[in-house]
């Protein structure tokens, strides 16, 4: 699936892309995805763009709350030449990310990721062969997928982050795999 965040927008989200699913479905399946970022932009000179994490794909564990409350995502930020990527989580509104699984990805290069619930409030996140296991207790009976979202300076005062400096194009393939 092709996906674009247009310049000046936060995402390409529409209600057609809401993709809710029951928590019970997530307990029995692993979410796998391949994603590539097909354009690059130069964030130099703008520290909010350079150091803030934008989101690629993930799961909002509380479907009707904003994704910055309880979620698990693959995040990215541009260096102007490559993209840095990591696991990014929000737990009760607190941002948690681990630079230890940071990976560098070139424009158009596919990333292989997966996310699964492994029991007792524990999850396994895989990013290009690197594994991270963590605990998260906050969830509801209905979850939803999160598609690419651009962060940066909160320049409109709505606490949802910034806007893409130019059109950013993605290729996304995801599937649910029975455990």
3-state SS string for 20-78 = EEEHHHHHHEEEEEEEEECCCCCCCCCHHHHHCCEEEEEEECCCCCCCCCCEEEEEEEE
Mean pLDDT, residues 95-109? 85
Q: What is the pLDDT of residue 9?
A: 81
Domains of the chain in start order, with CATH, are 2-178 (2.60.120.200)
Residue 36, pLDDT > 90, answer yes
Q: What is the pLDDT of residue 152?
A: 63
Mean pLDDT, residues 123-134? 92
Tens of pLDDT, residues 48-59: 677 788 888 899
pTM of the predicted protein model: 0.85
Question: Which residues are 21's β-sheet partners?
Answer: 143
Q: What is the pLDDT of residue 155?
A: 59
Long-range contacts, stretch 19-24, CB < 8 angstroms, 24+ apart: 19/144, 19/145, 20/63, 20/142, 20/143, 20/144, 21/142, 21/143, 21/144, 21/145, 22/141, 22/142, 22/143, 23/61, 23/139, 23/140, 23/141, 23/142, 23/143, 24/141
Tokens of 61: 């564990």
């Amino acid at each position: 699936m092709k996906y674009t965040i247009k310049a000046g927008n936060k995402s390409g989200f529409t209600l057609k892309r809401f993709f809710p699913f029951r928590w019970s479905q997530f307990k029995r399946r692993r979410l796998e995805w391949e994603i590539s970022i097909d354009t690059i932009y130069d964030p130099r000179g703008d520290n909010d763009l350079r150091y803030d994490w934008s989101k690629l794909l993930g799961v909002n564990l509380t479907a009707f709350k904003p994704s910055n409350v309880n979620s698990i995502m693959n995040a990215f930020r541009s260096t102007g030449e490559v993209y840095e990527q990591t696991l990014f989580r929000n737990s009760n509104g607190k941002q948690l990310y681990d630079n230890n699984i940071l990976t560098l990805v070139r424009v158009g290069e596919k990333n292989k990721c997966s996310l699964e619930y492994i029991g007792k409030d524990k999850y396994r996140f895989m990013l290009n062969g690197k594994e991270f296991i963590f605990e998260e207790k906050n969830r509801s009976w209905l979850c939803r997928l999160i598609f690419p979202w651009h962060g940066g300076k909160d320049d409109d005062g709505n606490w949802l982050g910034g806007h893409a400096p130019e059109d950013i194009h993605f290729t996304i393939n995801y599937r649910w795999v029975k455990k």
